[in-house]
Amino acid sequence: MNKKNIRNPEKIVDLISIKKSFDKIIAVNNVSLGIKEGEFFSLLGPSGCGKTTLLRIIAGFEKPENGDVFINGKNVNSVEPNNRPTNMVFQNYAIFPHLNVSENVGYGLRNTSLNKDEIAQKIEEALNLVGLEGYHKRASSALSGGQRQRVALARALILKPRVLLLDEPLSALDKNLREQMQFELRQLQKSVGITFVLVTHDQTEALTMSDRVGVMFNGKVDQVASPEEIYNKPQTKRVASFIGNMNFFETQYLEKKSKTISVSHKDLGNIKLLKSNIFGVDKSKLTIGIRPENFKINNKNGKKQPKSFNAKVVEKSFMGDTMLYGINLRENDHHTYRISISDIKNTPSPNIGEEISVYFQEDDIVAYYEE
């Protein structure tokens, strides 16, 4: 293979055909991925999907068996972590317990030619950046979880890396603090303008914070796109079911036209699918996916919408801003599909056991060829 040493400079991190396995278990399987300069990029996936391994390959802690890692246009395959323009925030923060806050934050400056005053100045700036003014002399053992994370952030950002790598940084925090830190991290990324690469298994975290998300399963990246696109047009069935909720229906293939494909379902009737919403390798069988919020309930006495079907309510739960229903399509079919109603006031509120009529829009439907 011809190893080019300079690549597209627009991509601050460029991974080419990366493969890595541990004891015959393939953690990362032939992944190619480009991360743009200045973006907030998330690697999202269930635990064990290889996302942390991929992050550690970027940092240099793991050496890929195959493939090339380019950072800032340079091949860094043989560059050790201490010479890469990346810094990492570890999952457990890895705060040095025998050093105080200042010593932790200024740790990476020991190898620079800066003098004492300059270092103190930089530590001051870094602490202000993460909202820890006046914590200089605090022992690291006297910090709370959120403070530890801020120290870890300041310590990594003080070196002005080209890429900041974050390994599940919010998973150890409680829910309120986590939500606050999600917001703060996003603000911080915008203000410093450094490329952030975040690893997480929490889809809300990935969707709310990122410019782009890469969704991984079993060592492969299924889709890389903006949060909206990932949510509205998930390109594989497993992405669709991992991100939010998705109702799946198996259908019969009817006919193919230039822009649409028609299918039929025994309960939903005939459906015209947009070709741009259909993913996978062309096969005869298609599974369609409809999000719970894309189902609406017909008013009992009003005019029925064109694409309607009948169902029976079997579950109902009030979530505050939404009402969730579980429905069965037939008497003898116990598969429960989900409906989520956000406009609670203007929608009928059927009780469990009631028969209802549900409608949907064909344009909202995504579809996958069955493997």
Partner 1 sequence: MKKSNKIFKVIVIFFLVFLYAPALLLPIFSFNNSKVISFPLSGFSTIWFEELLYENTLHNALFNSLLIAISSTILATILGTLVARASTRYIFYGKRISITFILVPLILPEIILGVCLLTVLIQLGLDLNLWSVVLGHTLLITPFSTLIMVSAFNNLDISLEEASLDLGMSSFQTFRIIILPMVSPGLISSLLIGFVISLDEFIIAFFLTGVEPTLPVYIWSQFRFPAKLPSTMALGTILLIVSLILVSLFEYFRRRMELYNYYSVGLDQK
What residues line the site for partner 1 (CB under 8 A)? 59, 61, 80-83, 86-88, 90-98, 107-108, 110-111, 140-141, 144-145, 148, 155-156, 159, 172
In the Cβ-directed half-sphere of 140, how many Cα atoms lie within 13 Å? 19
Of the pair 3, 110, the CB lying nearest partner 1 is at: 110
Of the pair 21, 245, the CB lying nearest partner 1 is at: 21
Of the pair 94, 324, the CB lying nearest partner 1 is at: 94
Q: How far is it, in rounded angstroms, from Cα 48 to Cα 52?
A: 8
Of the pair 197, 327, the CB lying nearest partner 1 is at: 197
**Which of 168, 167, 190, 189 lies closest to 178 in space, CA to CA?**
168
Using a 10 angstrom Cβ sphere, with 0-12 exposed, 13-18 middle and 19 or more buried, the burial of residue 306 is exposed
Query: Least distance to partner 1 from the beta carbon of 184, Å?
Result: 18
Q: Are 239 and 247 in contact (CB under 8 A)?
A: no
Amino acid at 145: G
Of the pair 3, 175, the CB lying nearest partner 1 is at: 175
Query: Least distance to partner 1 from the beta carbon of 152, Å?
Result: 8
Query: Least distance to partner 1 from the beta carbon of 92, Å?
Result: 4
CA angle, 320 as apex, 318 and 323 as ends, to 5°? Answer: 40
Query: Least distance to partner 1 from the beta carbon of 181, Å?
Result: 14
Q: How does strand 286-290 pair with strand 260-265? A: unpaired
Q: How far is it, in rounded angstroms, from Cα 204 to Cα 187?
A: 17
Q: How far is it, in rounded angstroms, from Cα 161 to Cα 82?
A: 12
Query: Least distance to partner 1 from the beta carbon of 218, Å?
Result: 24
Q: Are 223 and 214 in contact (CB under 8 A)?
A: yes
Query: Least distance to partner 1 from the beta carbon of 125, Å?
Result: 17
Of the pair 3, 98, the CB lying nearest partner 1 is at: 98
Of the pair 91, 241, the CB lying nearest partner 1 is at: 91
Strands laid side by side in the 296-297 sheet: 296-297, 355-359, 308-318, 323-328, 337-341
Cα–chain-centroid distance for residue 343?
27
CA angle, 144 as apex, 138 and 146 as ends, to 5°? Answer: 110
Of the pair 113, 351, the CB lying nearest partner 1 is at: 113
Of the pair 45, 108, the CB lying nearest partner 1 is at: 108
DSSP per-residue codes, 79-135: --GGGSSEEEE-TT----TTSBHHHHHTGGGGGSS--HHHHHHHHHHHHHHTT-TT-
| Maximum distance among all Cα pairs of the chain, rounded to whole angstroms | 79
Query: Least distance to partner 1 from the beta carbon of 135, Å?
Result: 16
Query: Least distance to partner 1 from the beta carbon of 88, Å?
Result: 5
Query: Least distance to partner 1 from the beta carbon of 25, Å?
Result: 15
